[in-house]
Amino acid sequence: MFERSDETLVKQALNGKKSAWVTLVKRYEKKLYNYTLRMVSNPADAMDLMQDVFVAVFRSLSTFRGDSPFKGWMFKIAHYRCIEFYRRKKPTQSLDDVPEQFDESNDECPEYHAVSGQQATALHKAMKTLPVNQKLVVELKFFQHCTFDEIAKQLGISVNTVKSRLYSGLDKLKDHLEFDYV
Amino acid sequence: MSEDKKLTSEKAFEKWLDRSDLVEDEQSQQVQSNTNTNEETVWQERLKTAQTVEHQVSLEAEHKVPHWDRSAAFESDKSPWWQWGGLPAMSMAFSMFAMALVLFKVELVMKDDGVLLTFAGSTQAQINQVSYSQEEINVLVDAKVDQKLQRFASEQQVILANYVADIKVKQQDSNLQLASYLIGATRKERKEDMGDFVQYINDQRADDSLDNKIKFQQLENEINYQAIKTQRTNYQPKTIKSQNSDGLGLTTKPASWTSEE
């Protein structure tokens, strides 16, 4: 009825109130899970990554000062954990390279196809062809509707780099998407 | 000129991407209108791609989160008391203390005049030392017995004094109750005696009055009898009529005599 603010829940969680933390998790777990699912294209990995993000968020909870919204702060951590996830999977591969082997293995995952909608499948397939850095910018731009400045702040890069990555990503997506509806 | 057009298209595309909603259509049209050069074609394709991506994003449904332990990440700093960090150190310290007590043969002896803490069996040595002099033991025992007896005597005196005081108080109470009872009983008896005496007097008076009545009745009868007898013997009707019935001028009945009496 009276929804507590994120800041209140954070304070209560820091004071040791488990129910406040669970409420906070329930509030954002869906968005975070869908984000991780889009980023890693595998439900099991997405689940692991989401839990990893929540663990990192809880451990850094005391550093949250409330200057920026909790959601943005949490997703910033999520981006870093996502990049770490890719680095851990393929330590030798650059984040600007297409994670070919990784994506190929996920194409065969029936569970992912079961949870994916028909309309979104084409987009997901197309996004798999993008390098992690470009995929991250496309995610922030089109799924989370961030401006260039916000993306640059969240990823800690310049606006020009964001634009460059986005345009490169769009150029790659163009080859894998159909433009029938346009 | 071409460079200017490129810049304009790029800026318009950027603005469109950044969701300047009020001028979105206008900018989109602007991007679409610049279709002359190859550069513009590139921007056109990017715009189409962006629109397609947006369209597909709008069609995508959010996936449900599988069940998982949401409180797993919650690690409270407040650990239970049995997980307190200082507990092993404190346990170690107590163990060392216990070992020291055992090694130094520490003894704690409770005495009448206090507590004695001894080390390395010095109490036993003292006891052994005392056991050597039997006379001193006897003297100490005598002194102790005397002390105990004196204390017992003084306690008994106090108890007796208290007992006597209690007895006195009880005796006084009993005397008071007895005196009250006696006074009350005497009063009651006197009252009853007086009542009996008055009753006796009344009864006596009643008997006297009855006796008198009988006597008067007899006397009256006698007088009547004497009068009748006299009349019979000395019958003189004319002379007698003028005199009283007894011939002496006396009436046989008192003035206040009634027929009922």
The single-letter code of the amino acid at A78 is: A
More confident of the two residues B74 and B167: B167
**Distances A125 to A108, B53, B172, B192 between C-alpha atoms, Å:** 12, 12, 117, 132
Predicted TM-score (pTM) of this structure: 0.50
pLDDT of residue B80 exceeding 80, the answer is no
ipTM higher than threshold 0.90? no
Cα separation, A58 vs A53, whole angstroms: 9
> What is the largest distance, in Å, between two alpha-carbon atoms of chain A?
54
**Least-confidence region, from A145-149, B99-103, B122-126, B231-235:** B122-126
Q: Is A54 on the interface with B (CB under 8 A)?
A: yes
pLDDT of residue B167 exceeding 60, the answer is yes
Cα separation, B15 vs B11, whole angstroms: 6
What's the average model confidence in pLDDT over B131-157? 89
pLDDT on residue B187: 96
Residue of A nearest to B61 (CA): A117
**Distances B111 to B116, B117, B133, B139, B177 between C-alpha atoms, Å:** 7, 11, 21, 19, 53
pLDDT of residue B125 exceeding 50, the answer is yes
More confident of the two residues B10 and B78: B10
Cα separation, A142 vs A170, whole angstroms: 11
pLDDT of residue A105 exceeding 50, the answer is no
Q: Is B20 on the interface with A (CB under 8 A)?
A: no
Cα separation, A29 vs B231, whole angstroms: 159
Q: Is A148 on the interface with B (CB under 8 A)?
A: yes
pLDDT of residue B47 exceeding 60, the answer is yes
Share of chain B above pLDDT 90, in %: 39
What's the average model confidence in pLDDT over A167-174? 87
Q: From the candidates A17, A18, A25, which should be mutated to test the interface with B, based on the most B CB atoms within 10 A?
A: A25
- Asked whether the beta carbons of residue A182 and residue B57 sit closer than 8 angstroms, the reply is no
Share of chain A above pLDDT 70, in %: 80
pLDDT of residue A48 exceeding 80, the answer is yes
> What is the largest distance, in Å, between two alpha-carbon atoms of chain B?
206
Burial of B123 (0-12, 13-18, 19+ CB in 10 A): middle
Q: Which two tokens stand for residue A162?
A: 């964001």
- Asked whether the beta carbons of residue A18 and residue B59 sit closer than 8 angstroms, the reply is no
Residue whose C-alpha is closest to residue A25's, from A50, A59, A62, A3: A50
